[in-house]
Every structure is written in structure tokens, then in C-alpha cells.
Amino acid sequence: MNGELWADDPKGIELAAAAVAGGEVVGFPTDTVFGIGCATSKPDAITRLARIKQRPPSQPLILMTAAWEEMAEFVNWPSSAGALVQRFWPGPLTLIVEAKPLAAALGDGETVAARIPAHPTALRLLRRTGPLATSSANRHDQEPALDASSALSQLPGLAGALADPDRPRVSGTASSILDLTRDPPVLIREGRLSARELGVPVPEQEPGIRRD
């Protein structure tokens, strides 16, 4: 059974936030591709998210928050993060950093991927829910959805999805992934932000690394 399609209005945000609080997985637009997310504090919800996507539970998730300060309990920030965050967040840059114990369920226990999306609907939801464990809205190894209807069709286990009132905001291009646990930082995936924009070498393909 497909989930509900929620309007991008205060009532829709409240319904989506209530579903997250109840341990459900919800869909929402971001500035890259359509996303899904659940509460970081609910292990059963994180397991459900992996099951909905039909992906291995070991695949890492992305920590999303509405503000940098909210990530402090999940990550240890390196000195190199400050300038990147100031320049590119909110935006299509995912940073891999050292994880604190609270982030263990989101990755390998040693690192965690983090991002603040530049989409008003996503930010309104995150302000209501707090930190979310997120991924792209697609089944494992398939192309991500770009709108709520497609997300609900692809992923029938979702409680619902928030409509995107301004579809051009969803670019269809994934975020760039920069690993700050290495010195110098390594660009794992060149997405909406190029290696040149980030001031790092063009990435070499690293098999087995996915953050969808």
C-alpha cells in the first residue's frame, strides 16, 4: 500500500513530523534528489528504512539536520570543516567526518556522512523533527525519485511523502561527497559541486562506496 501524499504546508509538515516521531519513514524533497528519512533515535525505523529500499543494512546513511550545531552530538568536526560548512551549507555537499557513538547506527561506527539540504520543505521538516537518518528515495541500485508521487510509487513502505511545490528545486543530481577523515580531504563522489569548486583533486572511482 502506498503512503499518503502530504501538502507542503503547516499541516503537511506536522503530519510528516508525527509519522517520524512514531517511528515511520517519510519522503521529502531536497535540493539534489528526493529523499527519505527517519528518526536517528529509533533503531527500528533505521532498519525499516533499509528494508523499504531493499538495501543491505550495512550501507551508510546520511545525517541531516537544519543547523550545524545540531550535529555536535553525532560528529567530531575537523578543523577543515568550518570553511566548507560556511561556504557550501545549506547545499549539495555531504561531508564524511569522524563519528561519535550516537552516530554508530548511521555508518560503520567510525565515520558518518552529514549534510544540511538547501530546500525549504526539507528544512521546515528538519526543524520539527530534529536530526534525521536519510537516504535517496529509490530502491537499492535504482535511479532516485524526483518527486513525491514517484517516491511513493517506488517505495510502498513509506508512511507518506511531502509534495514539492517548486519542482525545479530538486535538481536530480546527487550531492558531492567529501571525506574529511583523510588528509588531504578526498572527493569520494563528484556531484552537483565539482572538484574545482571544492578545491580538491578530481576523484578516482572507489568501488563499493555508496551513500544513496
Cell of 172: 536530480
| Contact between 4 and 15 (Cβ < 8 Å) | yes
Q: How many CB atoms lie within 10 A of CB 31?
A: 22
**Would you state the pLDDT for residue 76?**
97
In this prediction, the residues of the chain whose per-residue pLDDT falls under 70 are: 1, 166-170, 203-212
pLDDT score, position 48: 97
CA distances from 75 to 39, 64, 68, 90, 126 (A): 17, 12, 10, 17, 18
Position 166 scores a pLDDT of: 63
Which cell goes with 114?
A: 552529514
Phi/psi of residue 189, nearest 5 degrees: -140, 130
Do 140 and 55 meet the contact criterion of CB atoms below 8 Å apart? yes
pLDDT of 208 reads 46
Beta carbons of 162 and 16 less than 8 angstroms apart = yes
Structural domains of the chain, ranges and CATH numbers in brackets: 4-198 (3.90.870.10)
pTM of the model: 0.92
